[in-house]
Amino acid sequence: IVKAGTREDPVWKFRNHTQGPLAIKVWLEEAENVVSYPELPNNFVLGAGATRELVTIGAFNSRKSWSYQLRSEALPGDPGARHRPTQAYRPPFAPNQAFVVGQAFGGSFSHSKPDSHYAVDIGMPVGTPIHAAREGIVMDVARWFSGAGTNIEYDGPRANYVRMLHDDGSMAVYAHLDYEGVIVLPGQRVRRGQQIGRSGNTGFSTGPHLHFAIQLNRNMKLVSVPFEFAGPDGQTLTPERGLRLKVSE
């Protein structure tokens, strides 16, 4: 949030630092003699890299004092997006390599929450090239974290990742990448099969692997959705523990 204007006529502008849509919920606390347009609480969607005023706030009665606390929260993704892939997802590694799914949909170790329920963990050595499973635009990245652990509160936010925006508004997350293991930039369009980084062991992790999920923004919460991988012989594969994935192209 960026505050401008004057005390008597404040202007609150909201800035999206990502290269994709950002959903923002705005509300007032401890409001006295205040009116807003549009009425709060309210939800907004801010475009990639945009900065703009979303709400106007002023005194209901200009002859009386007025006060308020403006609160907001933001989450990537357009709540109106729908997951509509035109083909199965390419396994996210180099051609002629094969890796095994260690944890799949609903995995008991760490895939119990909505944002990761339909995620897969693919075991692979640190430094393995990671390739885009689907064409998209790099929405956001983290690249400077190192180390891993099992404290979800501390280690959870410390994973390197690439968040990719697809044409249907869904988002792919490639996580636990190596330190400086991201080789693409926010705003860059990436083709299916293009290398985007290197696998690692960062954040909430017990060993080297790639965490891959497709997510949507639903009611200001990230929710993972089921998907299928493309098999080496043209078939589609539903991820499950022990499944051997291979790219033959």
Residues 6+ apart with CB under 8 A from 86: none
pTM of the predicted protein model: 0.92
Predicted pLDDT at 12: 86
**What value does the mean pLDDT take over residues 47-67?**
92
On whether the CB atoms of residues 233 and 187 are closer than 8 A, the answer is no
Distance CA 43, CA 74 (A): 10
Backbone angles phi, psi at 16, to 5 degrees: -100, 110
Helix (H) or strand (E) holding 30: strand 22-32
pLDDT reading at 50 higher than 70? yes
- The model's confidence at residue 220, banded by pLDDT at 50, 70 and 90, is very high
Torsion of CA 75, 121, 231, 91, to 10 degrees: 60
Place of tokens 């106007």: 56
Give the residue numbers marked as catalytic: 209
- The model's confidence at residue 249, banded by pLDDT at 50, 70 and 90, is low
On whether the CB atoms of residues 211 and 121 are closer than 8 A, the answer is yes
Predicted pLDDT at 246: 92
Strand pairing of 236-237 and 2-5? unpaired
AA identity, residue 62:
S
pLDDT reading at 168 higher than 90? yes
Predicted pLDDT at 106: 79
Backbone angles phi, psi at 106, to 5 degrees: 70, 20
Q: Of 77-81, 89-93, 101-105, 195-199, which range is least confident?
A: 101-105
Work out the percent of the chain whose per-residue pLDDT is above 70. 98
